[in-house]
Amino acid sequence: MQKSRKRLATIVSGCAMIACVGFMPSSPAQAEPDIDDVQARVDKLYHEAEQAQERYHDAQLELKDLQRDLTSLKADQARQDDAFEDVRSQVQDSIVRQYEGESLSNVGQVVVSDDPQSFLAQLSTMSAFNDLQSQLFDKYATEAEALGIRQQATERRATEVAALEKQLGEEKATVDKKLEEAESLLDDLKAKEREEILSRGVARIPSDVPASGRASAAIAYAMAQVGDAYVYGAAGPNAFDCSGLTMMAWAQAGVALPHSSSAQYGSGPHIAMSDLQPGDLVFYYSPISHVGMYIGNGMIVHAANPGTGVVVSSVSSMPYVGAVRPG
């Protein structure tokens, strides 16, 4: 009987616990992401990716210069090799002439080393040294020293090229990573919210942009690309990054610009914001990592980011640094 009471008490207690659990408020569903917070994070990732891409462009320009130097140094080294061999042959002939009439065993002892330093040391101990023309010996020593300098310079440049190529790979990996993170954030949003984020900061396309001279050709090209995609590293014909768009636009006017926003900042005279004219390039962020083209009425056309592509925006939509007038 006592056991039955205990068993009944246990059952009643269990039922009470189940009832309590049933009436407990369920944990709230995971909160929807705040659209402003997501936009801020996406914008930050896009900007970090663009910074890496512009560093990539700068490194590419530097790499071209280094490779040009390396090619020149290798050519110099080849010429120096020839000059060195010419003098070495003259020294060899001079030594052999000194030993004319001597036994073959004595001539056989005069072996000209291929290594410049070893050869110099060899000459200093040979009995024929005092009979060599001092001018010829000095010329040999000078050519050997010059060859060594060029060899060292070539090796330094080759090392710099290798280091820069490694940096290029790292910057490209950063671009890909940041873009992937941004796309992942956007994929978590509903289509309507995603569209709202991607459309922010986009202005109405003006029907007429006042311009004259070469600037008109650059503006016409840039405006014709509105709606095209943004792709890191692209320079047309159907996709662009920021400096790729301005580079190609001004190319239509016969003005060559480097594919780098920071390099473009040094491509012409700097213009005050109050003196902006259509066609001027405007630059953003510190260090500079974005460029657009002024089209008048406080507006720019630019390749914004992978979410919005080539669009028209306010000139003050980003942290303004300065402006340049190409050509």
Query: Can 290 be counted among the known catalytic residues?
Result: yes
- 15: amino acid identity, one letter: C
Angle at which helix 134-187 crosses helix 116-125, to 10 degrees, equals 160
Query: Can 20 be counted among the known catalytic residues?
Result: no
Question: Tell me, what DSSP letter sits at residue 190?
Answer: -
DSSP string covering 269-325, please?
-EE-GGG--TT-EEEETTTT-EEEEEEETTEEEEE--TTT-EEEEETTSS-EEEEE-
Q: Are 321 and 262 in contact (CB under 8 A)?
A: no
Angle at which helix 242-251 crosses helix 35-98, to 10 degrees, equals 70
Angle at which helix 35-98 crosses helix 134-187, to 10 degrees, equals 160
Q: Are 233 and 53 in contact (CB under 8 A)?
A: yes
Place of tokens 């012409």: 268
Catalytic, out of 47, 57, 242, 259: 242
| Half-sphere exposure (Cβ direction) of 147: Cα atoms closer than 13 Å | 21
Please name which of 16, 58, 78, 301 lies closest in space to residue 167, comparing C-alpha atoms. 58
d(CA 63, CA 147): 25
d(CA 76, CA 73): 5
Strand ordering across the sheet containing 290-296: 270-271, 320-324, 281-284, 290-296, 299-303, 310-314
Catalytic, out of 47, 57, 259, 302: 302
Question: Annotated catalytic sites, by residue?
Answer: 242, 290, 302
